[in-house]
Structure 1
Amino acid sequence: MRPRPLSADLVWPKCTLGCPLLDKVLRGGLASNSITELVGEAAAAKTQTCLQLLLCAQKPASEGGLAGSALYIYTEGDPPLRRLQELANYQKPSSCPANNPFDHIYIERDITSGEELLACLERVRRLLSSPPGRPLRLIVIDSIAYIFRDVGDNASVGAYVERTGLLFQIASLLRRYADEYNVAVVVTNQVMDAVSAAESGGKAPAARHTGGLKLMSDGRQVIPALGLAWANCVHTRIFLARAQQMVVLPDDAVQQAHILRTMQVVFSPYLPQSLCHYLVTQAGVISPENLGR
């Protein structure tokens, strides 16, 4: 169930990540009309990146934004609204200097199952077709893996079949929205430890999940959760990880050390496999090379 192929020369709008050097790696930002997955362990800054995108989507095209509103579907309890407000104080889009950026963000919470997520997404069509304000240009699901976490290694074949069916329905609906309404879709996913070839009977499942790349997080090899069925549903997979290195910002008065993180393009129909570094600061996600610019 591979999504339709995308051209290497995309003409669809892209949403800036809020940092020129990170945008350069993604050739302008995250593409509309496609599904982008951010995958990584806890504290890899998946949610931080999503929050920044919610604000960046409101920016005009001249600033790399989508000039629209965003939908944030948060599945892991209470959404981090305090952090979103903190980022908004630093990154309020210039297109709405007198308005609250929250006016252009729709938030859905208390989604606890795949069935509830599918029902929520089915209701989104009305918002897409008849928006009360700015057109909806970004849909973020944070996270897709959390609501399927109960399907473990000892689950029955029927449970896996049911999960796969739900994932296909969700992915199909997201692709339809991306195609019909020119929407950028972003989902976050978790990781699990990679099984060695010896443990898997001589096979190499990690390579099938990661396009042949060896993904490392905190010194461990990992692979994205949800398996190959879900991997075939997304266009672009981006791996986020904490590097085992600390960085002190040159203009930081208290000389606080920040964890260096990596952003890696795992597979994409229009992006080469590549890697860059970034930090999470009070002002948001930013490349270390872009500090002070």
Structure 2
Amino acid sequence: MYSEQLSALPYLTHSQKAVLKKGNLQTIPELLFASPQDLARRCRISPLEAKAIFNTVCENNPPQIISLAEEDDQEQICSTGDAHLDAALGGGLRTGMLWEIFGQSAAGKTQMALQLSLFAQVPASLGGLSGSACYITISSKLPTSRLLQIVDAHPLLSREICGLDDINTMKTPTIPVLIHVLSKILPDLVAQRVDDPELKPVKLVIIDALAELFHSSDKTTTTTLIERSQNIAEISTLLHVLASKYNLAVLVLNEVSDVFNHGESGTSSSGGLVYNQQAKWFGAADTVPGESNKEASLGLVWANQVNARIMMSRTGRRRYLEDSLQNKRQKADDGHSSGNGGATTNADDGAILVRRLSVVFSSVAPPSSVDYIVTAAGISVLPDDDVLAPAENAFSSPERHDDAISAISMAGSQVAPLDVGFAEQEAQSERTHLQDEDEEWENYWNADVISEEMYTRLEEPGE
């Protein structure tokens, strides 16, 4: 019923159908997901006319209660190709949802998107969606050579089950072009693939990267902010319609902006909470030093549109993996035999750059963080790092600080190599503090300023 075309509804007049067609609204879900205000703006009609059309469609399409067994479009989950990463995301990338990945440049956002566009093609029995992907770019060009490299390098992928044939791409350099693609071109493509049994249905839509559309040199005014909010709301509505109607996953890549701390006060002059105090709960993560200095772009309007927000960040840390250590030892042996002392630079000693992925919020998974690296096979979570919730982070609260120091002292081998420097620093600081305190007490007792009589003399009544 909900997939019925608006032009075929008998209870709408010809004039109402004409204005809906002018507003590029074709199906009932597209109409119901739009507010009467958006409907009036898109169809160029008065709010009263828009509300009348909206109410008419709602009255003739009441919600129906059905059991889960009768539900046609069951939720599907697409694996990322890494079991630890899947666990952090609540099993993988779920359909019917709007996912956001934001982070700094070179954090690995595009690498993740490319990897998912390949795993969406993998058969469901192997953790994929048995579908195809549509990759929308704003200003960049899709790196096809990198896609083929991931296919050849990843142990779970092969050219027999995934490739470039089932990745459709298009460029949308402006906001009107993107809205036209999401409202007309993409729904037609998705519907075409659904009707053709020889083609894989579209199961993943990627936008890389949405914030680029809103880069403008124009002066920021109330009018421009309102216009931006309206554009974001319209784009998100079209994405939710696609995800809901065709049971596909939508992944939007986003940029970051700097966080400026204007003070410790958590309330405004009127007594309400200020934005920068609230934003830390939904706009950024804070699991490693420096991670909280960046937050997702596009503000509160966009934050309210996404079902899951994931942050990817550079940490500046490095780690030696087994292969890297073996190569380093080999270089050291070769250097010793050649008489150069085995000197190596940080760039060629085999240390791999470590990055951090944090689930800021999600409707299907709790907040968590993992360390990962980018290899020829794509994103890979470091094998000795479990999915660790921020609340369980050893150094996240003063109450757990003492336990953390004890754990480091008793089981230093369990600390991840990339965190060893930080952990040793904390432990050394704690040991120095304890030593100073012990020395102070020792000096006090050695001074012998308390006579023995003070220990043996009983206090008499009345004294």
Pair in the same fold by TM > 0.5: yes
Cα drift, residue 212 of structure 1: 5.9
Cα 1:290/1:146, change in 2 over 3 Å: farther
Bigger strand fraction: 1
The residue identity in structure 2 corresponding to 1:180 is K
Cα drift, residue 204 of structure 1: 4.2
Cα drift, residue 134 of structure 1: 0.3
Indicate the SS of the match to 1:145. helix
Superposition pairs of residues 10-29 of structure 1, within 5 angstroms: 12-29=75-92
Distance between the aligned counterparts of 2:145 and 2:289, measured in 1? 28
Deviations 1:61-112 (A, max 9, x none): 1221111000001113222222122112223865x74476101100112x21
TM-score, with length taken from structure 2: 0.56
RMSD in angstroms over aligned alpha carbons?
2.6
Unaligned runs of 5+ in 1: 2-10
Indicate the SS of the match to 2:107. coil
Bigger helix fraction: 2
TM-score, with length taken from structure 1: 0.87
Match of residue 114 from structure 1? 175
Report if aligned partners of 1:151, 1:160 keep a CA contact under 8 Å in 2. Answer: no
Match of residue 285 from structure 2? 215
Cα 1:222/1:99, change in 2 over 3 Å: closer
Distance between the aligned counterparts of 1:167 and 1:46, measured in 2? 21
Unaligned runs of 5+ in 2: 1-32, 34-73, 329-348, 386-463
The residue identity in structure 1 corresponding to 2:215 is R
Match of residue 214 from structure 2? 148
Superposition pairs of residues 176-187 of structure 1, within 5 angstroms: 176-187=241-252
Distance between the aligned counterparts of 1:269 and 1:25, measured in 2? 12
Cα drift, residue 249 of structure 1: 2.3
Match of residue 188 from structure 1? 253
The residue identity in structure 2 corresponding to 1:196 is N
Superposition pairs of residues 20-99 of structure 1, within 5 angstroms: 20-91=83-154, 97-98=159-160
Deviations 1:165-204 (A, max 9, x none): 1111110011011111010000011111113243999564
Distance between the aligned counterparts of 1:251 and 1:65, measured in 2? 29
Cα drift, residue 161 of structure 1: 1.1
Compare CA radii of gyration and give the structure with the larger one.
Answer: 2
Match of residue 234 from structure 1? 306
Aligned residues: 279
Which of 204, 221, 227 is matched with 1:138 structurally?
204
Report if aligned partners of 1:17, 1:56 keep a CA contact under 8 Å in 2. Answer: yes
Distance between the aligned counterparts of 1:212 and 1:17, measured in 2? 23
Q: Within the alignment, does 1:271 sit opposite 2:365 as a pair?
A: yes
Indicate the SS of the match to 1:244. strand
Report if aligned partners of 1:55, 1:93 keep a CA contact under 8 Å in 2. Answer: no
Q: 240-249 or 194-203, which moves further after superposition? A: 194-203
Report if aligned partners of 2:283, 2:303 keep a CA contact under 8 Å in 1. Answer: no
Identity of matched residues, %: 32
Match of residue 338 from structure 2? none
Distance between the aligned counterparts of 2:209 and 2:299, measured in 1? 15
Cα 1:163/1:63, change in 2 over 3 Å: same
Indicate the SS of the match to 2:152. helix
